[in-house]
Every structure is written in C-alpha cells, then in structure tokens.
C-alpha cells in the first residue's frame, strides 16, 4: 500500500500524458490509433481490491476522455476491460495463488502468458470502445476490422513498454 499508491499514481499520469500528447495524434491508415493507457490497468497487482480496480479503470478512461472530446467512451471501455480482468486471469492461469503485491509482468509470468493476457484484454477494450463509439449494429464488420488492427498496434506499443520495464532475472527487490 504505502509506496505503491505513489508508484501507480505516477504511472497513471505518465501513461495518460503519453496517450493524449503523442498517441492520440497518430492515425495509421487514417483511423487507427494505438492506446497505451490500458497498460495502467493491466499492470495493477493481482491482489488488487475489486473496487480499486474498477474505480481506477473508470478514472483512467475519464482522463483520456477529457482530452479527446469523447466524454465517457474511454471510461466505459476501460471499465469493461477491468471488469473482465479477473475472469481472464482465472481462465488463462494454471496457478492462481500469486505472491502478495505481485504485478503481471514478464519476469513474474513469462512472455507467453503476458502476451495472451494483453491480447485478450486489449481486444475486449478496443471492441467495447468502437461499439460504443459507432453505436450501430449494421457496421459490425468494420468495427471488428478496426478493433483487430488497433489491438495489433496497441499490443506492439504495450509489449515494448513491458520489455523496457522488465528487470533482468534475479535482481527483483
């Protein structure tokens, strides 16, 4: 608890700043924007309290919304992602008892697990985001297409962030 709250608040501010100042201005192929801010929710510890998870997700989305004139859309999408997080973790994990305060990171869970975990949750996030934005069922194929492409780009950026954060094995405090 003690120092962790500062660590997570700092991460929250840094990721949202990167999102709104840099990534929101990138449009691959006209409309594909990578998202890095879901990494904040992906990195919360395994034993985080349910309400902390949901409230944190809500505010991280709202923070991005404030800068994108998309009031509520990112909040709703990241909330949905946070809601699905415990289920996804249970589905893809073999062992379910994690160390106290452990975070989902490459050195804790291995590259393969992190990749699967990130792909699934990012796809849920992007799908929710585009469904809410378009709000029409006759455009489902385009939504799916956009969600897949955006997930791929976001995944690339988030995995780079993961690799940058990974400490060499054995040096963990």
Partner 1 sequence: MRNLFYFIARHYFFFLFLSLQAVAFALIFQNHFYQRSAFINSANYLTGNVYGTRSDIAQYFNLRSINEELARDNNALLENIPGSYLKTDQHIFFFNDTLHRKQFSYINARVINNSVRNRNNYITLNKGRKHGIKPDMGVITPQGVIGIVKEVSANFSAVISFLHSDMQLSAKIKKNNHLGSILWEGYNHEKATMMYIPPHVQLETGDTIVTSGFSHIFPEGIFLGTISDYEIRRGDNFFTIEVELANDFNNLNFVHVVTNLYQSELIELEAAAKQK
Concatenated DSSP letters of the chain: -TTHHHHHHHHHHHHHHHHHHTGGG--BTTTB----THHHHHTS-TT--HHHHHHHHHHHHHHHHHHHT-TTHHHHHHHHHHHHHHHHHHHH-S---PPTT----HHHH-HHHHHHHHHHHHHHHHHHHHHHHH--GGGHHHHHHHHHHHHHHHHHHHHHHHHHHPPPTT---
Q: Is there binding between residue 118 and partner 1 (CB under 8 A)?
A: no
Beta carbon nearer to partner 1, 2 or 69: 69
Q: Is there binding between residue 73 and partner 1 (CB under 8 A)?
A: yes
Per-residue contact flags (x/-) with partner 1 for residues 137 to 166, judged by CB under 8 A:
-----x------------------------
**Among the listed residues 65, 114, 117, 158, the single contact to partner 1 using CB under 8 A:** 65
Footprint on this chain of partner 1 (rule: CB under 8 A): 20-21, 24-25, 27, 30-33, 50-51, 54-55, 58, 61, 65-73, 75-76, 79-80, 82-83, 86, 132-134, 142
């Amino acid at each position: 608890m003690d120092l962790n709250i500062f660590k997570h608040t700092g991460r929250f501010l840094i990721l949202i700043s990167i999102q709104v100042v840099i990534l929101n201005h990138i449009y691959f192929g006209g409309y594909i924007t990578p998202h890095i801010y879901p990494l904040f929710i992906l990195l919360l510890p395994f034993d985080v309290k349910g309400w902390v998870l949901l409230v944190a997700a809500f505010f991280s989305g709202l923070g991005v919304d404030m800068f994108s004139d998309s009031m509520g859309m990112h909040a709703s999408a990241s909330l949905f992602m946070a809601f699905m997080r415990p289920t996804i973790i249970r589905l893809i994990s073999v062992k379910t008892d994690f160390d106290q305060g452990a975070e989902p990171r490459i050195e804790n869970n291995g590259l393969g697990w992190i990749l699967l975990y990130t792909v699934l949750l990012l796809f849920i996030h992007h799908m929710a985001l585009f469904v809410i934005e378009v709000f029409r069922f006759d455009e489902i194929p385009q939504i799916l297409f956009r969600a897949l492409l955006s997930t791929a780009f976001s995944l690339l950026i988030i995995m780079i962030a993961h690799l940058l954060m990974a400490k060499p094995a054995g040096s963990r405090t």
